[in-house]
Amino acid sequence: MAADPQRIRMTLEEYFQMNDKSDIKYEYHHGYAIAQAGGTGGHSRVKVNLTQLMNEQLYSGPCYVYDADMLVEVAEDVRVYPDLTVSCDVADHTPGNTVVRSPHFLIEVLSPSTESTDRLEKSVEYRACASVEEYALVSTRYQMVEVFRKIRGEKGEEWVHHVYHPGQEAEFASLDITIPVSAIYHRTGVPLIEDVPPLPGPKKSKAVSGNDQEAIEKGPVL
């Protein structure tokens, strides 16, 4: 049986050779290959909507939209497949190019199997990438878009967090565009709000009658 490539530390050159021959897409994180899982129908439709909407907005400008098939370099030893990437660097736009090396904007469409990685490891990697000005996390549990934006002030570079819900327009300031949240989720079946049962808590105390309350205030009869 062939060894699992995810358990073998490899060089970047070895990763490229393995990934080019594999039917499975692998990301590369600090010497290790990580297999990419498939998604649900709702997850796929959100990605299709985002790609179409972004491409319409950026159709004639200097920035190009790439889908999840495009490998993206975010560090010397990190290669990832974001759900959507925007690059505004002409060097990334040659027809034969296979890796985006100057990502400007990135989107991850969250799923139960990837949300932890997208929120933690990938968020750290995206913020550390010098060319990244903004990235977004798009929920598929309910309709919510989170945008993380780099700003430069007196204290240097900082990241600010914005959350957008149905009825609002998500602002992608680094690209100078807005997209209605409802359009992102059009015909996806993703619920408007999170549908989860309430958390368990203390039982409600029994209602106390006026007479009982008076007895409590007076205290026990000695």
Task: Tell me whether strands 99-100 and 84-87 are parallel, antiparallel or unpaired.
Answer: unpaired
DSSP 43-107: HHHHHHHHHHHHHHHTTTSS-EEEETTSEEEEETTEEE--SEEEE--GGGGSTT--EE-SEEEEE
3-class DSSP state for residue 187?
A: coil
CATH code of the domain occupying 40-196:
3.90.1570.10
Query: Residue 1 — pLDDT band, cuts 50, 70, 90?
Result: very low
pLDDT digits (tens, 9 = 90+) for 19-61: 999 889 999 999 999 998 778 899 999 999 999 999 999 999 9
Q: Is the pLDDT of residue 2 over 60?
A: no
CA distance 87 to 40: 27
Confidence category of residue 220, pLDDT binned at 50, 70, 90: very low
Interatomic CA distance for residues 159 and 22, integer angstroms: 37
For the chain, report the end-to-end CA distance as a whole number of angstroms: 83
CA distance readout (Å), 69 to 47, 98, 142, 153, 173: 12, 10, 25, 35, 25
In the chain, % of residues over pLDDT 90: 75
Q: Give per-residue burial for 69-78: e unless 16+ CB within 10 Å, then b.
A: ebbbbbeeeb
User: Tokens representing 199?
Assistant: 């958390």
pLDDT per residue over 187-217, tens digit each?
Answer: 999 999 877 555 565 544 444 444 444 443 4
Q: What is the mean pLDDT of residues 83-95?
A: 97
Give the residue-averaged pLDDT of 176-185: 98
pTM: 0.84
20 or 221, which is more confident: 20
Q: Which residue has the tokens 């699992």?
A: 4
Q: Where, residue-wise, is CATH 3.90.1570.10 in the chain?
A: 40-196
Please give the C-alpha separations between residue 190 and each of 52, 109, 193, 197, in angstroms, as whole numbers: 18, 12, 9, 17
Higher pLDDT among residues 168 and 20, named by residue:
168
Cα 89 to Cα 68, 96, 101, 208, distances in angstroms: 18, 15, 9, 70
Distance CA 11, CA 20 (A): 14
Q: Which pLDDT does position 154 carry in this prediction?
A: 82
Report the alpha-carbon distance of residue 114 to residue 126 in Å, rounded.
15
Let me know: does 118 contact 108? Beta carbons within 8 Å: yes
What is the distance between the alpha carbons of residues 124 and 136, in angstroms, rounded to a whole number?
13
Mean pLDDT along residues 112-139 = 96
Which two tokens mark 143?
């309709």
pLDDT tens, 114-125?
Answer: 899 999 999 999
